[in-house]
């Protein structure tokens, strides 16, 4: 097993020589902005719920107020959060790697707020709600989350259907254009940085697999991830590793 020092110097030289680079992020990149990952123990209000049980069309049909309340809670967290040094370093990477493509599974907008110019969002956005019945977009402004679990979703102005969050739920298709662009970028890259993702949720988890199959090198940044043979693993937090990597590789 490589030590962190060996992995760091390998990662620096991979970054310096990369031309076609993909950064692939998951919930871990926003963890240090105060947004819990899907595997974290939740705060007292939501601790009895499993996020994966709330993120399905069936859960919304069964209890729309609970599911809407959960997403309003996450939306308020994201709105009050700030990009952390990992988001900022990823945005800064574009200056040194002009062909960089950023692909995220996150539904917050912290990459955009950090200055990343174009982010492929595979799982939608907390800020793009639409009607559950007719799919028309809904213009939602304020967050109404407080210390309550159940919040009734607003109603569609056209068909009176319930408004749902604009995120991809388990059992739903990912947006086609985004998925195609992500697969293409993974196929074409020579280096993929996988930052703060458990790599458990498909089809997004195919992205590093496609990159590896096509000869790209992979760097993982994660405090917990298991070692994959041939990949470079930096154990620890994204907000620590990402700025250090850029400083060493390019400054």
* Region of 20-28, 42-50, 131-139, 207-215 interacting with ligand OAD (CB under 6 A): 20-28
User: CA nearest 235: which of 195, 199, 201, 206?
Assistant: 195
Q: Which residues contact 135 (CB under 8 A, 6 or more apart)?
A: none
**Catalytic (active site) residue 123:** yes
Whichever of 38 and 96 has its CB closer to ligand OAD, that residue is: 38
Catalytic-labelled residue, pool 87, 111, 121, 123 = 123
> What tokens does 74 get?
């996450």
User: CA nearest 165: which of 90, 17, 56, 91?
Assistant: 56
Shortest approach of ligand OAD to residue 204 CB, angstroms? 6
Please state, in angstroms and rounded to a whole number, the distance separating the CA atoms of residues 1 and 24.
Answer: 23
Shortest approach of ligand OAD to residue 156 CB, angstroms? 23
Decide: 197 and 226 in contact? Cβ < 8 Å. no
Q: Is residue 197 near ligand OAD by the rule CB under 6 A?
A: yes
C-beta atoms surrounding 86 within 10 Å? 28
Q: Is residue 234 near ligand OAD by the rule CB under 6 A?
A: no
Q: Is residue 38 near ligand OAD by the rule CB under 6 A?
A: yes
For residue 223, give Cα distances in angstroms to 95, 149, 205.
Answer: 27, 31, 18
Rule CB under 6 A: which of 99-158 touch ligand OAD?
Answer: 105, 123
Q: Is residue 11 near ligand OAD by the rule CB under 6 A?
A: no
C-beta atoms surrounding 141 within 10 Å? 5
Please state, in angstroms and rounded to a whole number, the distance separating the CA atoms of residues 151 and 144.
Answer: 8
| Residue of 198, 203, 228, 235 interacting with ligand OAD (CB under 6 A) | 198
Q: Is residue 196 near ligand OAD by the rule CB under 6 A?
A: yes
| Residue of 15, 32, 94, 109 interacting with ligand OAD (CB under 6 A) | 32
Shortest approach of ligand OAD to residue 250 CB, angstroms? 21
Catalytic residues: 123
Interface residues with ligand OAD (CB under 6 A) are 26-28, 31-32, 37-39, 52, 55, 105, 123, 168, 170, 196-198, 200-201, 221-225, 237-238
């Amino acid at each position: 097993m490589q030590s962190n020092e060996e992995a760091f110097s390998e990662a620096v030289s991979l970054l310096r020589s990369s031309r076609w680079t993909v950064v692939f992020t998951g919930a871990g990149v926003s963890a240090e902005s105060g947004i819990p990952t899907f595997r974290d123990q939740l705060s007292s209000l939501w601790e009895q719920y499993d996020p994966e049980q709330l993120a399905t069309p069936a859960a919304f049909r069964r209890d729309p107020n609970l599911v809407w309340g959960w997403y309003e809670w996450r939306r308020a967290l994201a709105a009050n959060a700030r990009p952390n040094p990992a988001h900022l370093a990823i945005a800064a990477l574009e200056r040194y790697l002009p062909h960089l493509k950023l692909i995220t599974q996150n539904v917050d907008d912290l990459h955009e707020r950090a200055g990343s110019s174009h982010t492929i969002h595979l799982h939608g956005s907390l800020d793009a709600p639409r009607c559950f019945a007719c799919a028309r977009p809904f213009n939602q402004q304020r967050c109404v989350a407080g210390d309550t679990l159940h919040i009734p979703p607003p109603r569609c102005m056209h068909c009176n259907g319930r408004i749902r969050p604009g995120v991809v739920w388990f059992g739903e298709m990912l947006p086609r254009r985004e998925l195609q662009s992500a697969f293409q970028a993974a196929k074409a890259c020579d280096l993929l940085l996988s930052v703060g993702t458990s790599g458990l949720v498909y089809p997004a988890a195919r992205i590093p697999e496609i990159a590896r199959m096509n000869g790209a090198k992979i760097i993982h940044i994660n405090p917990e991830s298991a070692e994959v043979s041939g990949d470079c693993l930096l154990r620890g937090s994204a907000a620590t590793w990402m700025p250090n990597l850029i400083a060493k590789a390019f400054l």
